Structure 1
Amino acid sequence: HFYVGTSSSEVTVNIEQCCIFRGSFVKLNARIGKILWRTYMLPDNFGQRGEYAGAAIWGSSPSIDIRRNHVYIGAGNLYSAPKNVRDCQERQNNRTDMPSTDMCGA
């Protein structure tokens, strides 16, 4: 089997044209290239701009825990987020810690 993360070049596109790509991690049958499973890093954006996009998987290898049947990966480069999330970040001065669990719809 072969494990691979996906990335895109949408990060280079101007914001008016950006973005619908969602990073994913796939397990392939190495002999025939068939995708055995895929997991996405973001919720489905239904191909709509202005929703969650990005979360590319690049620049690192996964850690595979055979005993626990887990794969650990890193993702980055969030290209866009829904307007309500961006508005909430603006109201919170883009804080990284939420003052309460129900803030920003979490």
Structure 2
Amino acid sequence: MYAIFEHGGKQYQVKKGQNIKIEKINLNPGENINFYKIIMVIEKEKIKIGQPHVQNTNITGNIIQHGKHKKIKIIKFKRRKHHQKQQGHRQNFTEIKIININTSIL
């Protein structure tokens, strides 16, 4: 069984026991979090698509750690103008382990 949920303007496909990195959440490591904006749930041959979200379904996860992704370089360059700008960015993330996909629809 796997599900697709929405968080922080992005969509994530998850299975039970999977670790994912999502946008930073202000909770401490070891705490549980529930996601309720489930877009789709698939179990073998059964598919349930929400309009816009699947009712009576949630995903439970456990926060493992907080961190930062690898640095990306942002380079702005204007040719023949002697202008160049470099900048770096490291996005914060929260790593979550999916504990369970709770559903009463299938």
- TM-score w.r.t. structure 2 length? 0.26
Point out the structure with the larger strand share: 2
Higher relative contact order (CA 8 A, sep 6+): 2
Point out the structure with the larger helix share: 1
Instruction: Tell me which structure has the larger Cα radius of gyration.
Output: 2
